[in-house]
Amino acid sequence: MTDVLAVTDHRRGELRDVSYEIITAGRQLADETGGDLHLAVVSGTVDDFAEKVNREGVDAIHTVDYGEEFNHDVYTQAITQLYDDLAPQYVLAPNSVNGLDYAPAVATELDLPIVTDTIGLETDGDTLIATREMYGGKVETTNELEGPAVATIRSAEWPQAEGTGDASIETFDATIDEDAIGSTVNGFEEVGGGDVDISEADVLVSVGRGIEEEDNLPLIEELADALGATVSSSRPIVDNGWLPKNRQVGQSGKVVTPDVYIAIGISGAVQHVAGMKGSDTIVAINTDPNAPIMDIADYAIVDDLFDVVPALTEEFQ
Amino acid sequence: MKILVTVKEVATVEDEFEIEGTAIAEQYLGADLNEWDDYAIEEAVQLQEEGVADEVVTVTIGPEECEQTIRQALAKGADRAVRVWDDSLEDVDLLDVGAKTEILSAVVEEEDPDLVLTGVQSGDDSWGATGVSVAENLGYQWGAVVNHLEHDLEDAASVRRELEGGVEELTEIELPAVLTIQTGINEPRYASLRGIRQAQRKELDVKALADLDVDESAIESELELSDMYEPESESDVTTWEGSAEETAGELAELLRDKGVAP
Ligand SMILES: Cc1cc2nc3c(=O)[nH]c(=O)nc-3n(C[C@H](O)[C@H](O)[C@H](O)COP(=O)(O)OP(=O)(O)OC[C@H]3O[C@@H](n4cnc5c(N)ncnc54)[C@H](O)[C@@H]3O)c2cc1C
């Protein structure tokens, strides 16, 4: 039987969506061989969180009441101890920024292999078959692993579990060695405020690395002007300092849901797509017919942006 | 203070490519310095220029061909480089996190740096896990996805970790530590001509697994890459064909139809 221990994710008093998605992923793995799904809820208002994640398919919830916010040393200690106690076949963690801050440590500590950012998981009880992407989403791969393992799951790949469950909720008395805690979280800060709120825009003209140079940006601005649209961008444009942080769309930027999102010279990396996939209509202008953005675009122009964008601007001038 | 930076040469893929077995056919592949590592190198070199670090050493797992990439890091200011390679690594399909951890840990132990900087992930296989894994393996402290580092390093590093949704976490991490560096933390420099010339004379030490006391069995990947394919498209994308004027015309019509453009 394949028991699964899945770890929930929360921040500043709120469970994150992936906490419900990981229930679905974990349940599915456990179901393949009739195992149990255990959830770990570590730090924060654990009782409140436990109640919320008690959804259909969860067999047991283990709460570790230690500290308010995420600390990777606390997580690593709590999860490795839970693993020793429950002996599950698989540990699932979210492939969130925090997941990536403890899951590799848990794997190393337990001497287990780790497979990160999975988008599909299957097992026959012994072999785990994990699907993941390579080369920025240009290809998918399957990876096989024998025996127990740690896997992190990409967010928004599995649906969120629903319904009310009847899991047992138990306090797990993890022994947290405070001397082994080598980092302290001193607070949080929101970044990216400023003049424009791209999440309010109806039309976004979004520019990516395909623009090549800062000097070419006016091309995009002219188009946005002609359309009465707002300019947003992928991460490299912001990293380069060509646009301020409040224009960045994506996982670490803003989530946007405009009527029309025009992605110009943007490949559609998963962290970018996380911020714009809810757009009503997605148009991609890209020289690469295989760019991952094509998978979520409604309309595409496979051509050089330096030809298409000026022609488009002209249409509206 | 000594800083070790992991530097990887990543494979890049052309727009059009073919898959052979569980790999992309060689002729469609290029090579580049991993984007995230470029920022890690820059951060280390800045720390050195400010007198915080005395030495910046890079470490790479890779065959001789990747020396041009290592020289890029040296040209940007790293002092010397270590490259690990071995016949036993030649045929490995996929070097997983565990295998990289074993090799890099051995180098970290030998070099004994105060700070290890890695990229958050590599652009090709994007495990995003090696830095933290190495830290845990060696009993170093760590921080993942760091997009700001205060340079007054003494016993601890004050960092910002970039979380999702425009939120940053302010964290204090005891040294020695491994930090995985996020893009945008600085502005990576271009190597100057002088830097490139100097890089040719810098020490580039090649080590086999035996030199590092790493057993071949320790680097056997526990993962087997069993298939590679192009992902199925999820959407029925309408691709407009024709000249730029024609396709722009189609898009203009769509925008007018939707009432979102004049
Ligand atoms: C933890 C983490 C968080 C991240 N958060 C974000 C985030 O919030 N937002 C984000 O965007 N990224 C984020 N990223 C980075 C992300 O992984 C990608 O690196 C980034 O989105 C790539 O941006 P791009 O598509 O503009 O560039 P590239 O991937 O380089 O793509 C450029 C595209 O332009 C096309 N192109 C080139 N020339 C032309 C031309 N002349 N005409 C037309 N098309 C052309 C190319 O075919 C290619 O598809 C994050 C990464 C990590 C690890």
Residues of B in contact with A135 (CB under 8 A): 11-13, 24, 123-124
C-alpha–C-alpha distance, residues B224 and A130, integer Å: 10
Helix orientation angle between A99-110 and A72-86, rounded to the nearest 10 degrees: 40
Interface test with B, best of A15, A19, A72 (most B CBs within 10 A): A72
Taking an 8 Å cut-off on Cβ atoms, the answer to whether B252 and A238 are in contact is: no
Say whether residue B8 is in contact with chain A using an 8 A CB cutoff. no
Taking the C-alpha atoms of A221, A222, A225 and A227 in order, what is their torsion angle to the nearest 10 degrees?
A: -110
Return the sign of the alpha-carbon dihedral for residues A288, A274, A100, B52.
positive
C-alpha–C-alpha distance, residues B181 and A243, integer Å: 21
Place of tokens 């019509």: B253
C-alpha–C-alpha distance, residues A153 and A78, integer Å: 20
Say whether residue A127 is in contact with chain B using an 8 A CB cutoff. no
Positions of chain A with pLDDT under 70: none
B155 pLDDT band (50/70/90 cuts)?
Answer: very high
Give pLDDT, residue B93: 77
A281 and A260 Cβ atoms separated by less than 8 Å: yes
Please work out whether the CB of residue A235 comes within 6 Å of at least one atom of ligand 1.
yes
Residues of B in contact with A228 (CB under 8 A): 261-262
pLDDT tens per residue across span A109-168: 999 999 999 999 999 999 999 999 999 999 999 999 999 999 999 999 999 999 999 999
pTM: predicted TM-score of the whole model, two decimal places: 0.97
The answer, yes or no, to whether residue B235 has pLDDT greater than 80, is: no
Q: Which residue of A has its CA nearest to B16?
A: A290
C-alpha–C-alpha distance, residues A8 and A93, integer Å: 7
Chain centroid to CA A122: 20
pLDDT tens per residue across span A264-283: 999 999 999 999 999 999 99
CB atoms < 10 A from the CB of A170, how many? 12
B219 pLDDT band (50/70/90 cuts)?
Answer: confident
B254 and A317 Cβ atoms separated by less than 8 Å: no
Q: Which residues on neighbouring strands pair with residue A232, listed in sequence order?
A: A206
The answer, yes or no, to whether residue B122 has pLDDT greater than 90, is: yes
**Residue to substitute in B125, B183, B185, B247 for testing ligand 1 pocket (most ligand atoms within 8 angstroms of CB):** B183
Say whether residue B155 is in contact with chain A using an 8 A CB cutoff. no
**Residue to substitute in A266, A303, A305 for testing ligand 1 pocket (most ligand atoms within 8 angstroms of CB):** A266
pLDDT tens per residue across span B97-112: 999 999 999 999 999 9
CB atoms < 10 A from the CB of B203, how many? 10
User: Exposure pattern of B22-36 as b/e (b: 16+ CB <10 Å)?
Assistant: bbbeeebeeeebbbb
Say whether residue A162 is in contact with chain B using an 8 A CB cutoff. no
Taking an 8 Å cut-off on Cβ atoms, the answer to whether B166 and A117 are in contact is: no
**Tokens in use for A253?**
């930027």
A31 and A58 Cβ atoms separated by less than 8 Å: no
Residues of A in contact with B171 (CB under 8 A): 183-186
The answer, yes or no, to whether residue B234 has pLDDT greater than 80, is: no
B127 and B121 Cβ atoms separated by less than 8 Å: yes
Please work out whether the CB of residue A99 comes within 6 Å of at least one atom of ligand 1.
no
C-alpha–C-alpha distance, residues B61 and B73, integer Å: 14
HEC string of A78-129 equals HHHHHHHHHCCCEEEEECCCCHHHHHHHHHHHHCCCEEEEECEEEECCCEEE
Task: Check if the interface score ipTM surpasses 0.90.
Answer: yes
Residues of A in contact with B25 (CB under 8 A): none
Of the candidates B129, B226, B239, the beta carbon closest to that of A114 is on B129
Share of chain A above pLDDT 70, in %: 100
Q: What value does the CA radius of gyration of chain B take, rounded to a whole number of Å?
A: 21
